[in-house]
Amino acid sequence: MVRRLFSITMLAALLLWAVGCSENSTGSDDLTENPNLNDPTGGYLPTSESPGFGDPDLLAEANDNDEYNDPMLSALGADTLDDSLDGRYHFRVVWGQLRYDSTVIDVTDWTGSLTVSRGAMAIRRVIKFEPGQDAIVPRTDRTLVEWESFTTVHHDGLAVDIFIPPDTAISSEAVTVAFETGPYSRTFDLSELAALDTVVYLDDADSNAVAFHAFRLDRVPCPRGFLTGHWGYDEDGEGVFRGVWMTRHGWISGFLRGHWGVNDNGQRVFFGKWISANGRFEGFLRGLWNRNPSHNASPVAIKHAGGWFAGEILNADELVIGTLKGKYKSHPAFKKGFFQGRWKLACNDVEPPRDDGL
């Protein structure tokens, strides 16, 4: 039912290729990239890289998101569901430690459920589930997903597609999606899923959190998806980030890396580079970041204050081809910082513009 995106054999092959690429002229390291905060592309070049930028941690990250072959998907007849009105949505949620924390020793029980009040759901991916500990409960109801999950130093999560049939005189009630666990529960209206980007921190000793992301899956969509990874400081105290690039269904299709800080004009800026799974250049990243929340925020929010980032995706000719945005929390120990966000590419005039945040 579950299979790895990257098998152990493939991961080993990618690592070997990464080593080989570092010895030839295909990677940008040989072309002397010089990341800085004042260049239009941050000092990055539109060149190919080793897979995962030759970073074993990034390649391993791609092995933590398992494709889930949900038998409910074929039972739904999902392709016949009418998406002309309310439509289809992709919903991603992770819970636990959003950043790895080796000091957490207490186990948190996140056993729970996700319920759509009308329609159906299909699981696309399980995130960081550990065999023998975490599991999906066998499904018998198209509106319900249940799981067993326990976390300590890291997090677990799910990515699902939600199918909403059109309203009828018999079934015209508002559609809701309910996330329910012991530590935290929340119910969303359908309108919130068009541009959902929320991180909620629990007021507990282990600093647990829940991150929600969602967007509408259009009939003729422009490419869009998620990005997640680490955000913090390198050994020289410079702001850096790196992570994985995911499709709209949560499949890992590439990697990104970059740096952030304050440029000579006093602007809080970030720059980065996006590559495909095999290292092909896909785009430059650039934008602004800032800290939050304000001084009027709650004590819990202030305790866990991170910030936001928002910017553009550019092609090799430095033309804007898309946008990205998200939230981060930095940390002096790079692997303890994190970011999560969404991206979207422009495609054509088929998909009308909407004020959905991305």
Residues 108-124 have pLDDT tens digits of 999 999 999 988 999 99
Dist CA 13 CA 277 (whole Å): 13
The mean pLDDT value for 150-154 works out to 92
What is the reported pLDDT for 76?
60
Cis, peptide link before residue 223, omega less than 30° from 0: no
Banded model confidence at residue 262, pLDDT cuts 50, 70, 90: very high
Mean pLDDT of 156-178: 78
Q: Is the pLDDT of residue 15 over 80?
A: no
pLDDT digits (tens, 9 = 90+) for 120-149: 999 998 988 998 999 999 999 999 999 999
Mean pLDDT of 239-243: 93
Residue 247: what are its φ and ψ, rounded to 5°?
-75, 180
Type of residue numbered 62: A
Signed CA dihedral, 99, 341, 58, 2: sign only: positive
62-78 pLDDT, tens digit per residue, is: 666 667 888 887 766 54
| Average pLDDT rounded to a whole number, residues 50-66 | 80
Question: Which strand ranges, in their side-by-side order, compose the sheet holding 112-116?
Answer: 135-136, 144-148, 112-116, 176-181, 185-189
Compare 304 and 278 and report the one with higher pLDDT. 278
Distance CA 3, CA 180 (A): 26
- Note the pLDDT of residue 252: 84
* pLDDT category of residue 292 using cuts at 50, 70 and 90: confident
Q: Count of CB atoms within 10 A of residue 262's CB? A: 12
In contact, 105 and 35? CB cutoff 8 Å: no
Two tokens, residue 259: 């740096």
Phi and psi at residue 27, to the nearest 5°: -90, 155
CA distance 336 to 295: 24
pLDDT tens across 185-230, in order? Answer: 999 998 898 888 888 888 776 689 999 988 887 655 688 888 988 8
C-alpha 279/C-alpha 20 separation (Å) is 13
Whole-number Cα distances in Å, 321 to 221, 256, 271, 313: 15, 16, 15, 6
Strands of 247-352 (E only): list them. 252-262, 268-276, 281-291, 307-314, 320-329, 338-345
Burial of 264 (0-12, 13-18, 19+ CB in 10 A): exposed
Mean pLDDT along residues 322-329: 90
Residue 179: enclosing H or E segment and its boundaries?
strand 176-181
